């Protein structure tokens, strides 16, 4: 399905329909400098609820794999995305909720109807992807990763001495 999919909040809020589609990773312009390789696509699913104040709230789920770059060894690091979140939508800044009214798990954005799925996905991924992605130490090919693996062996004679010294 097209990467330019939009959600008609008024209609979806009324019908409760669930929309589905796919976004090509290469089309996620805002994320390109966080990705090592823009391959594949992410599957998304969205529905729209009406919150207690009558405002549309988009409930989204995203699934797929992104290729990040391990910040230790600089090699590709597949990052599985299986993420669900909600975002409130208001049409003008004046309608943004006061801080104290804002619910902890829901962020609000200002957007005109219909809302771009791409924008919602990009904004959420920018916030939720790890800032410093790193392989697990044992799976990392970097100098530090190897060093981590070597240290216990190299240290073992001393570890033995330490044991002898301790009562």
Q: Where along the sequence are the contacts to Zn ion (CB under 5 A)?
A: 70, 72-73, 135, 140, 142
CA nearest neighbour of 49 among 83, 84, 21, 9: 9
Minimum distance, C-beta of residue 78 to Zn ion, in the bound complex (Å): 12
Closer of 16 and 130 to Zn ion (Cβ):
130
Minimum distance, C-beta of residue 140 to Zn ion, in the bound complex (Å): 3
Whether the ω angle into residue 33 lies within 30 degrees of 0, i.e. cis, is: no
- Residue 105: which residues within 8 A CB-CB, separation 6 or more? 86
Closer of 57 and 135 to Zn ion (Cβ):
135
Closer of 53 and 149 to Zn ion (Cβ):
149
Minimum distance, C-beta of residue 154 to Zn ion, in the bound complex (Å): 21
Minimum distance, C-beta of residue 65 to Zn ion, in the bound complex (Å): 17
Asked whether the beta carbons of 121 and 23 are under 8 A apart, the reply is: yes
Minimum distance, C-beta of residue 137 to Zn ion, in the bound complex (Å): 9
Closer of 105 and 136 to Zn ion (Cβ):
136
The phi-psi region of residue 18 (left if phi > 0; otherwise alpha if psi is between -120 and 50; otherwise beta) is beta
Closer of 20 and 149 to Zn ion (Cβ):
149
- Residue 31: which residues within 8 A CB-CB, separation 6 or more? 25, 66, 122, 125, 126, 129
Task: Look up residue 118 and give its two tokens.
Answer: 């791409």
């Amino acid at each position: 399905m097209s990467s330019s999919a939009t959600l008609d909040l008024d209609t979806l809020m009324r019908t409760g329909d669930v929309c589905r589609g796919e976004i090509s990773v290469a089309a996620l312009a805002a994320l390109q400098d966080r990705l090592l390789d823009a391959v594949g696509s992410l599957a998304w699913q969205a529905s729209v609820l009406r919150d207690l104040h009558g405002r549309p709230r988009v409930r989204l789920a995203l699934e797929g794999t992104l290729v990040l770059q391990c910040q230790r060894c600089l090699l590709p690091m597949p990052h599985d995305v299986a993420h669900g979140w909600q975002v409130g939508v208001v049409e003008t800044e004046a309608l943004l909720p006061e801080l104290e009214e804002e619910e902890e798990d829901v962020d609000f954005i200002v957007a005109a109807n219909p809302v771009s799925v791409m924008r919602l996905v990009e904004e959420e991924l920018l916030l939720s992807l790890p800032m410093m992605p790193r392989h697990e130490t044992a799976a990392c090919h970097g100098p530090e990763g190897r060093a981590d693996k070597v240290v216990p062996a190299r240290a073992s004679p001393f570890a033995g001495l330490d044991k002898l010294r301790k009562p």
